[in-house]
Structure 1
Amino acid sequence: MEMRATVQAWSQVVGSRVRRLLLVLLVITLFLASQILTHHYRPVSEVEEVNQSGELTSQQQQQQQQGRLRDEVDQAAPTHLTPATDVTDTDQRRTITNDESRREMLDRLSQLQTKELQKVISFLDSTSDPAAVHPTRIHHALQVLKVSLLEEVTGRKYTDIMEAAHYAQPLSSHPRPKMLQVVIATTWRSGSTFLEELLESHSAVYNHYEPLLQFGLRQIRGGEDSLEAQRIIHDLLSCRYSEHKQYLTTAQKIKEMISRNTRLWSTCSTKEWGDALCFNDVFLKEACQLFPWATMKIVRLRLKFLRPLLEDENLNVRIVFLVRDPRGVMNSRTDTVKWCTAPDCSDPKALCTDMEDDLEAALQLQKDFPGKLYILRYEDMSLNPVNKTRELLDYTGLDFDAKMEEFLDSHTTKNLDKPWSTSRESKTRVTYWVSKLSSIKLKAVQGACDHVMKRFGYLPISSNKNITVDSILGPLMLT
């Protein structure tokens, strides 16, 4: 009965034609699968092990290598391991492959880290070491500076401004007009910072601020220092920086030497890159050559040593000899600042002796180089800043730039009575020292400076009561 039931059930399963066809396909599939598995795992025959030449096949060589590797692994394995801890050939191959991949990956990572580290070091060097700044950045900064300069001078009154800016070296091979150099020669606390900032506010001016700061708080009146000072000044006005490492080192410590050149500083100093580019001699040389005009303020070298600048026609120099009432100078040195303690700065006799020598040099230079030296009294500029500025610009050859007018409006109508501020109510500055200078100091200054005061038109007073401009300021008597 059981057999009959089984046959009947089987007949139901395979009864239909479709079901029988499916059954046949299933059987064939199982057969093929068994053949494949049998072929894959069958042992290598004697014929497959050795080729016709008697050499081992590549498969046999691989098996022998694996066997030797397995023996080495077994020898290197700890002796306390039991046979149960041995791995199969497949596991060993996987482990070896993983180790090789890991070593290769670590090698690549190590190389990548080294390259990235080198990039970081190079970047840090370029932000702190001027010599390490990449040439690409120098070139880019120069392009930016030139575009900025062209934007500033576009549409100005003098066409030679545009021509000089457009054909500026080194970004053009076209010859350009000579750069005009304006050198302010004076001494400490004589209003030179105001005059320098006024000229530097012009859109096309490159400013050399205090190039002799490396000599400290003293006057250079001769000797080897005067020769070195002359060389520095001449080279900077010629846009040559490479031979003046001490100047650049000093500028890195006293950043005002460069930062007061506002258009230059805004280009070479950035938050991301720092200011190393600003002290790179190649960049400074080529940036200097972009500008049609340059200014320089000198307060440590006496006027007679500037003669070589006028003798060199290639420099195209104009000198502005700036003087101030010695009573106002000494009051500013003793009342306004705290650093003026050296004899060259604190002694009124030294001040007025220098003023006398400078005046003699100025008169001789005016005779030898007509039209190249201009004598300017601080008081005249303070009493009539706009007209006196126009007169000064006519002498130097600069046009009255709109930014200069803005500068005068903002710096001559209000008082910011701080040591380095140039914002002053200009007319009140002429008599400012009268109420500040003690009677003892007043007598000392007038006693030491009587002769030179007369020549510059500064009138002596006996008291500080009821003093007006006319009481202290007369006409120039230079001869």
Structure 2
Amino acid sequence: MRIKYTISVIFIVTLVIIEKENNIISKVSDKLSTQLTPLLLGPSLSAPHNASADQHLDHLLENASVDQHEDHLLENSTWSIQQSVFPASASGGQKHILLLATTRTGSSFVGEFFNQQGSNMFYLFEPLWHVERMLSVESGGTNASVAGPAYRDVLHQLFLCEFSLLESFIEPAPQDHVTASLFRRESSQSLCEDPVCTPFVRKAFERYHCRMRRCGPLNLTLATQSCKQKEHHAIKSVRVRQLETLRPLAEDPRLDMKFIQLVRDPRAVLASRMVAFSSKYKIWKRWAVDEDLPVDEDEVRKLKGNCDNIRMSAEIGLKQPPWLRGRYMLVRYEDIARFPMHKATEMYSFIGISFTATVEEWILQNTQASKEVSGVYSTQKNSSEQVEKWRFNIPFKLVQLVQKVCGPTMTLFGYKFAENKDMLIDKSISLIEEKTFL
């Protein structure tokens, strides 16, 4: 009887968990379906058209997040419709750049290479923060099967200068397309310049307000208009886990996508996160000082998952499958920190746009910073010093753990293993292999 009772309880709990997850997926699918259908069909199909094709696409959209197989069907159906509606190379010379990274890899610094481009670049800083936040609140954590398609579709809209899907993830919800809650608005010059910068409203509190000038709450209609007037579009994100999920962006002829994946030594990333996200890395900090503390398998599993995701995305990009050919570039943070001007020039050449004097001046000013202005989140640092700094801020026991868990990732990116503590802190020994990524 006891065994039968236990089995019944387990069965009921399992059903509850499955039902909760299905509800989350359903909510996000409804969000994506209602917002994305007009986008995929395009403005030229707003007149009467093939109803059966619409019904088929709607059916696929409603079930887009159920599993990977149905997601693959959605992408293929969307692509076949786009082929019949949009001519090849419809971007008209416009470039669309997605900077992919993870936290504490220098992505804010590298993102400025595009933010500082000036009047011909529309740059967005971490718009997917809102998507991750809402999905985490609703599910108690970020569900990869839901987050991946949601991230992809929000990015797809944003590169086409459509903010409607992003709006549905912003809390509190924008009123008449106006919000005071866009994450890190001040990190995008495009959102703090005319005509997007509306007159300042004293009674409206905006946490991420523009710092160089006083603006009213962000009007997303004006942001859309500004985006459409810009020659090129760039987005920085640390939230996309797998490059493969972004394939529809590369295959949309309205976009001329360029993917730049920024990576950094996993040992340096961990050392940086322990400082920047101190409360979330308490267990790692305890490991650093307590020799007898047992390893938390969940934390190690997270570390491995992060390294594996980065490596698998890079492996796909470096293989240059047909959909990525000429669209993918891998860049190491260490190379940018040591040779910022050279690597910035390489990135601009890869994208196919001119490297301006404004960007060059910004790089010169922000790679030789004094200690007084180099905070944890600052983009203004002595970049060459940052490359080696982690080696003196992390115990060798943690270095050993990272090397064990992230070994394949380190090998792929050309990071050498430290064999002992003396080797770790010996500045005369480089832990970076000189490597070219084609």
Q: Does 1:228 align with 2:150?
A: yes
Closer, same or farther: CA 311–471 of 1 in aligned 2, 3 Å: same
Q: 1:238 aligns with which of 160, 175, 185?
A: 160
Report the alpha carbon displacement of residue 339 of structure 1 after superposing the two structures with TM. Answer: 5.3
Which protein has greater RCO, CA pairs closer than 8 Å, 6+ apart?
A: 2
In 2, Cα distance between the equivalents of 1:294 and 1:424? 26
Counterpart residue type for residue 207 of structure 1 = Y
Alpha-carbon offset, residue 229 of structure 1: 1.5
1:354 to 2:270 alignment: no
- Gaps of at least 5 residues in structure 2 are 1-89, 207-214, 283-297
What displacement does 1:213 show? 0.7
CA deviations on 1:303-349 (whole Å, 9 max, x unpaired) are 22121111112111100011000011111101233354597899422
Name the residue aligned to 2:254: 314
1:364 Cα shift?
Answer: 4.1
Identity %: 23
Equivalent position of 2:421 in the other structure: 463
Partner Cα separation in structure 2 for residue 263 and residue 478 of structure 1: 32
Contact (CA 8 Å) 2:199, 2:216: kept in 1 or not? no
Calculate the TM-score normalised by the size of structure 2: 0.63
**Residue 281 of structure 1: CA displacement?**
3.3
- Give me the whole-angstrom Cα distance separating, in 1, the residues matched to 2:236 and 2:361: 22
User: What code does the residue aligned with 1:456 have?
Assistant: F
Structure showing greater Rg: 1
* CA deviation vs aligned residue, 1:165-223 (integer Å, no higher than 9, x gap): xxxxxxxxxx9944311100111111100011121101121111112112139896741
Q: CA deviation at 1:450?
A: 1.1
User: Once the 2 structures are TM-superposed, how far is the Cα of residue 432 of structure 1 from its aligned partner?
Assistant: 0.8
**Is 1:211 aligned with 2:151?**
no
Q: Is the 8 A contact 1:344 1:350 kept in 2?
A: no
Q: Over aligned residues, Cα RMSD in angstroms?
A: 3.0
Q: Which amino acid aligns with 2:225?
A: E
How many residues align structurally?
Answer: 305
Q: Deviations over 1:247-293 (max 9, x none)?
A: 44469465444322214313324335767865333222111101101
Cα deviations across residues 341-361 of structure 1 (Å, max 9, x unaligned)?
Answer: 597899422321222222223
Q: Is the 8 A contact 1:430 1:469 kept in 2?
A: no
CA–CA distance in structure 2, aligned partners of residues 244 and 263 of structure 1: 17
Deviations 1:398-442 (A, max 9, x none): 212111111111110124331210111111111110000112211
Please state if 1:472 is matched with 2:431.
yes
Matching of residue 437 in structure 1 with residue 394 in structure 2:
yes
Q: Which runs of 5+ in 1 are unaligned?
A: 1-174
Check conservation: 1:309, 1:315, Cα contact below 8 A: yes
Q: Is the 8 A contact 2:99 2:111 kept in 1?
A: yes
TM-aligned CA deviation for residue 367 of structure 1? 5.0
Kept in 2, the 8 Å contact 1:455–1:478? The answer is: no
Matches within 5 A, 1:118-137: none
Mapped partners of 2:189, 2:437: distance in 1: 36
The match for 1:189 is: 104
Distance verdict in 2 for CA 1:244–1:434, change over 3 Å? closer
- The corresponding residue for 2:200 is 271
Change (3 A) 1:429 1:230: same
1:441 to 1:300, Cα distance in 2 relative to 1, 3 A: same
User: Does structure 1 retain, via aligned residues, the 8 Å contact 2:127–2:183?
Assistant: no
Deviation at 1:478, TM superposition (A): 6.9
Whole-Å separation in 2 of the counterparts to 1:402 and 1:433 = 32
Q: Which has the higher helix share?
A: 1
The answer (yes or no) to whether the contact 1:366–1:372 under 8 Å persists in 2 is no
- C-alpha contact (below 8 Å) 1:348/1:444 kept by paired residues: no
CA separation of 1:220 and 1:340: change in aligned 2, threshold 3 A: same
2: CA distance between counterparts of 1:425 and 1:257?
24
What residue is the counterpart of 1:290 in the other structure?
Answer: 229
Matches for 1:4-403 after TM superposition, within 5 Å: 177-203=92-118, 204-214=120-130, 215-216=132-133, 222-249=144-171, 252=179, 254-267=181-194, 268-272=197-201, 279-302=218-241, 303-338=243-278, 340-341=280-281, 347-365=302-320, 367-403=322-358
Flag the 1:207–1:225 CA change in 2: closer, same or farther, 3 A.
Answer: same
CA contact (8 A) 2:121 2:230 kept: yes
Letter of the structure 2 residue corresponding to residue 197 of structure 1: E
Q: Structure 1: which amino acid aligns with 2:228?
A: Q
Return the letter of the residue paired with 1:358.
S
| Pair 1:429–1:358, CA change in 2 (3 A) | same
What TM-score, normalized by structure 1, do the two folds share?
A: 0.58
SS at match of 2:406: helix
Does structure 2 retain, via aligned residues, the 8 Å contact 1:207–1:296? yes
State how far apart, in whole Å, the 2-side matches of 1:421 and 1:443 are: 29
